[in-house]
A and B are shown apart, each in its own frame.
Chain A
Amino acid sequence: MKSFATFGNELYTGERSYEFVGKRKIWFGITGLAVLVSLLIPMLGGGFNFGIEFRGGSQFTISEVAHTDAVIGEEAVDQAVPGTAAVVTNIAGKTMQVQTDRLTDDETLKVSDALKSAYGVTDDHITSTFVGPTWGQDVSRQAIIGFIVFVLLATVLMAVYFRTWRMSIAAVVGMLVVMVVTAGVYAASRFEVTPSAIIGFLTILSYSLYDTVVVFDKIRENTADITKSVRRTFGEEVNLAVNQTLVRSINTMMVAVLPVASILFIGAFLLGAGTLRDLSLALFIGIIVSTFSTIFVAAPLYAWLREREPELARQAKKVHSRRASEANETAKTVNV
Chain B
Amino acid sequence: MARTGPTSTARRTLLWLAAIIIACTLAVGGGVLAGAASWSPKLGLDLEGGTQMILAPKVEGAGSITSEQLDQAVSIIRQRVDGSGVSEAQISTEGGNNVVVNMPGKPTDAERELIKASANMNFRPVIVATQVPSGAVPEAEQTPADKLPVPTAAPVNASDPNWVDAALMKQFEATSCIAPLTDRPTSSDPAKPLVSCEPDSGIKYILGPVEIPGKWIKTASYGLQAGAQGATTNEWSVQLTLTKPEGAQAFKEVTQRLNSKYLANPEDPQSRFAIVLDDSVISAPASMAVITDGQSSITGQFTEESAKSLSDKLKFGSLPISFEIQSELQISATLGLQQLEMGMLAGLIGLGLVVIYSLFQYRALGLVTISSLVIAGVITYLAIILLGWAENYRLSLAGVAGIIVAIGQTADSFIVYFERVRDELRDGRGLVAAVENGWARAKRTILASKAVNLLAALVLYFVSVGNVKGFAFTLGLTAVADLIVVFMFTHPTLQLLARTKFFGEGHRFSGLDPVQLGAIPLYRGAGRLRTPEETMEVVKGKNARAAGEAERRQTIAERRLAAKEAELVGSRGAGAAKSESNEDSKENK
Binding site for B on A (CB under 8 A): 3-6, 8-10, 12-13, 53, 61, 63-64, 105-106, 108-109, 123-132, 134-135, 138-139, 142-143, 145-146, 149-150, 153-154, 157-158, 161, 195-196, 198-199, 202-203, 205-207, 209-210, 213-214, 217-218, 221, 225, 228-229, 231, 244-245, 247-248, 251-252, 254-263, 265-267, 270-271, 274-276, 279-280, 283, 287, 326, 329-330, 332-333, 336
Question: Within 8 Å CB of A5, what residues of B?
Answer: 422, 513, 516-518
Output the nearest chain A residue to B329 by Cβ-Cβ distance. Answer: A129
Cβ of A332: which chain B residues have Cβ within 8 Å of it? 571
Instruction: Decide: B397 and A336 in contact? CB cutoff 8 A.
Output: no
Q: CB distance B419 to A336 under 8 Å?
A: no
Residues of B within 8 A of A279 (CB): 398, 401
Q: Are A138 and B95 in contact (CB under 8 A)?
A: yes
Binding site for A on B (CB under 8 A): 46, 54, 56, 95, 98, 109, 112, 324-335, 338-339, 342-343, 345-347, 349-351, 353-354, 357-358, 361, 397-398, 401, 404-405, 407-409, 411-412, 415-416, 419, 422-423, 426, 441, 444-445, 448-449, 451-453, 455-457, 459-460, 463-468, 471, 475, 513, 516-518, 556, 566-567, 569-572, 580, 583, 586-587
Q: Which 7 A-B pairs have the closest CB atoms?
A: A259-B350, A256-B408, A206-B456, A9-B518, A258-B353, A146-B463, A262-B349
18 sampled A-B residue pairs with Cβ under 8 A: A5-B422, A53-B327, A142-B468, A143-B463, A202-B456, A214-B449, A217-B445, A231-B580, A251-B419, A257-B408, A258-B357, A263-B343, A275-B397, A276-B397, A276-B401, A279-B401, A283-B405, A332-B571
Task: Contacts A9-B517, A142-B464, A228-B583 given; indicate if A260 touches B452 (C-beta within 8 A).
Answer: no
Residues of B within 8 A of A274 (CB): 339, 397
Report A-chain residues with C-beta under 8 Å of the C-beta of B411.
Answer: 252, 255-256
- From A199, A210, A217, A265, give the contact of B467 (CB < 8 A): A199
A6–B412 CB distance below 8 A: no
Q: How far is the CA of A247 from the CA of B235 in the complex (A)?
A: 75
- Chain A residues contacting B358 (CB-CB under 8 Å) are 255
Q: Which of A109, A252, A333 contacts B412 (CB 8 A)?
A: A252
Report whether A263 and B401 are in contact in the complex, using a CB–CB cutoff of 8 Å: yes
Residue among A6, A248, A257 having the largest count of chain B Cβ atoms under 10 Å: A248
- Give chain B nearest CB distance to A36 CB in angstroms: 28
A262 to chain B, nearest CB (A): 4
Q: Which residues of chain A are within 8 angstroms of B331 by Cβ–Cβ distance?
A: 127
Contact A209 B404 (CB under 8 A): no
Task: For the complex formed, measure the closest distance between the CB of A23 and the CB atoms of chain B, giving whole angstroms.
Answer: 24
Question: Which chain B residues border A132 with CB–CB below 8 Å?
Answer: 56, 324-327
Does the CB pair A262–B346 fall under 8 Å? yes
Give, as a whole number of angstroms, the nearest-CB distance from B457 to chain A. Answer: 8
Q: Which residues of A contact B405 (CB under 8 A)?
A: 203, 256, 259-260, 283
Return the chain B residue nearest A334 by Cβ. Answer: B570
* Complex CA distance for A210 and B451, rounded to whole angstroms: 9
A12 in contact with B455 (CB, 8 Å)? no
Which chain A residue lies CB-closest to B456? A206
**CB pair B56 A251 closer than 8 Å:** no
Which of the residues A131, A255, A262, A326 comes within 8 Å of B327, measured between beta carbons? A131
Contact A330–B327 (Cβ < 8 Å): no
Given known A-B contacts A149-B463, A259-B354, A266 and B349 have beta carbons under 8 A apart: yes
CB pair A124–B327 under 8 Å, yes or no, is no
Q: Which among B347, B460, B465, B471 is the interface contact of A259 at CB below 8 angstroms?
A: B347
Contact A195 B419 (CB under 8 A): no
- Do residues A276 and B342 form an inter-chain contact, with CB atoms below 8 A? yes
Docked pose: A257 CA to B353 CA in angstroms: 10
Q: A61's closest neighbor in chain B, by CB?
A: B335
Say yes or no: A157-B452 contact (C-beta < 8 A), given A262-B349, A266-B342.
yes
Evaluate contact between B453 and A130: CB separation under 8 angstroms.
no
Query: Known interface pairs A129-B327, A248-B416, A275-B46. Does A262 touch B350 (Cβ–Cβ under 8 Å)?
Result: yes
Q: Of A130, A206, A207, A244, which contacts B423 at CB under 8 A?
A: A244
Which of chain B's residues have a CB closer than 8 A to the CB of A138? 56, 95, 98, 326, 465
Known: A129-B328, A206-B453. A245 touches B419 (CB 8 A): yes
Contact A336–B109 (Cβ < 8 Å)? no
Q: Complex formed: what's the CA distance from A121 to B331 in Å? A: 14
Residues of A within 8 A of B95 (CB): 138, 142
CB distance from A240 to the nearest CB of B (A): 11
Q: A6-B516, A13-B518 are in contact. Are A131 and B460 (CB under 8 A)?
A: no
| CA of A10 to CA of B397, assembled, Å | 44
Residues of A close to B56: CB separation below 8 A: 132, 134, 138
Are the CB atoms of A263 and B426 closer together than 8 Å? no
Whether A271 pairs with B449 at a CB distance below 8 angstroms is no
The chain A residue sitting closest to B407, CB to CB, is A259
On whether A124 and B342 interact (CB within 8 A), knowing A6-B516, A213-B448, A217-B444, the answer reads no
Closest CB in chain B relative to A290 CB, distance in Å: 12
A146 touches B464 (CB 8 A): yes
In the complex, the answer to whether A205 meets B350 with C-beta atoms within 8 Å is: no
B451 proximity list for chain A (CB < 8 A): 157, 161
Tell me the complex Cα distance, A131–B327, Å.
4
Q: Which residues of B contact A143 (CB under 8 A)?
A: 463-464, 468
Q: In the bound complex, do residue B453 and residue A210 qualify as a contact, i.e. CB atoms below 8 Å apart?
A: yes
Given the contacts A225-B586, A259-B347, A202 and B460 also touching, CB distance less than 8 Å: yes
CB-based contact A161/B339 at 8 Å: no
Assess A124 versus B326: contact at CB under 8 Å? Given A157-B455, A259-B353, A260-B350: no
**Which B residues are in CB contact (< 8 Å) with A202?**
456, 460, 464, 468
Known: A206-B455, A209-B456, A336-B570. 12 other contacts (CB 8 A): A5-B518, A63-B335, A138-B326, A150-B460, A196-B467, A203-B471, A217-B448, A225-B587, A255-B354, A257-B408, A262-B404, A266-B343
Contacts of A207 in B (CB 8 A): 409
Cross-interface CB contact of A139 among B347, B466, B586, cutoff 8 Å? B466
